[in-house]
Amino acid sequence: RSLLAARARYQAAALQTELLKLQHQLEDNEAKRRDTERARADLALANEALQRKVAEVQSLQAALREQATLDALTGLFNRRHLNDTLPAMQALALRDKRPLAAVVIDLDKFKAVNDTHGHPAGDCLLADFGRLLRAQLRRSDMAFRYGGEEFCLLLPNTTAAAARSKVEGLLATWRAQRFSFEGGTLDSQSFSAGVADTVGVPTAPAALLYAADNQLLAAKRAGRSRVQALMTLDGDTMTDSRPPASFAEFQADATAQGFDEVVVREWEPDQVLQTHSHTFQVKAWVVRGEFALTSGGNTRRLRAGDGFELEPGTPHAESYGSEGATFWVARRHVKASASTAPAAESATSPAP
């Protein structure tokens, strides 16, 4: 009996020890569970904090993008965004064989407004003009503050003629408005605008803005408060293979095709010309200015006999006083040389 009792006591002690171990394990597991829950709670809090930080960063990035692409005063895109956007829009237009029109606008006599009424009045005009553009343009159109009181529009799937009509409507609306600012009011205002499209200029993005900007200069020289467009029409070409015998013959030829004015500065045979993608020697009489300058108030460009058009050159025909001319245009002929170019032709050309 004593042996059995001793064995029972031993077994009871062993069970007690095992129970204590199990109890300690349960306590350890409970502690680990609580630690895990606390860790999960801490992780959830950390995730929430991280999400808030990500949202803050995204909001800051959006604000920075807006600051980088938008003009704060007018709410329009800025010039930096124009430089980033134009190449892609022009490439898309060329790929799809659809015109892209560019318009450069300058608010007339804006400096006088600032000098007379102060910068608050000028800021009022700029902000109101931004609102006008945002209200009147299509969703696909893009408006930019080009700098100071200058603005630029990019109008997809729009010819220079259609863009001119659209901008003339904007001009009429702008003239009809009256403007109030702190301390006074402003009477009717106006703007000048130049228009060009991808049909009438070389493929380089800079050439499109260059062409529109030169039309703007022509509009200013013509008295401001108007829209000047560079338009290239299929009928406005002169492709005969021989050079005219004289300037008078050339002028008669142009007049017969319906052009109102012909401006020629001087003849230059065998001149090497640089285009946007080629350098070649033109066996032709090259005219500084433009052949058949204007028709119906629109500046026209003439193609060479092979259909090739030259990009803008310097100096412009405006330097010679021919209002509206913005490009050097060469007419290519099969046969011409220095010996056949009449020395007196320059003298018979219209005076600058």
182 is catalytic: no
Two tokens at 102? 């560019």
Per the document, the length of the chain is 352
Distance linking the first and last C-alpha atoms of the chain: 141
Two tokens at 110? 């804006």
Of 18, 37, 66, 149, the active-site residue reads: 149
The C-alpha atoms of residue 104 and residue 284 are separated, in whole angstroms, by 34
The C-alpha atoms of residue 249 and residue 86 are separated, in whole angstroms, by 42
Residue with tokens 């492709």: 239
> Nearest Cα to 264, choosing from 307, 303, 200, 320?
320
- Spatial CB neighbours of 268, under 8 Å, sequence gap ≥ 6: 285, 286, 288, 341
Say which amino acid occupies 166: K
Residue with tokens 């629109």: 298
CA-to-CA dists, residue 44 to 35, 54, 58, 135, angstroms: 14, 15, 21, 47
SS3 252: helix
One DSSP character per residue, 123-148 reads: HHHHHHHHHHHHHHS-TT-EEEEEET
Two tokens at 68? 């980088």
Bridge-partner residues for 263, per DSSP? 290
> Nearest Cα to 310, choosing from 290, 283, 333?
290
Residue with tokens 């408060």: 225
Find out whether the peptide bond into 350 is cis, omega within 30 degrees of 0.
no
Half-sphere exposure in the Cβ direction for 213 (13 Å, CA) = 12
Hey, which residues are catalytic here?
A: 149
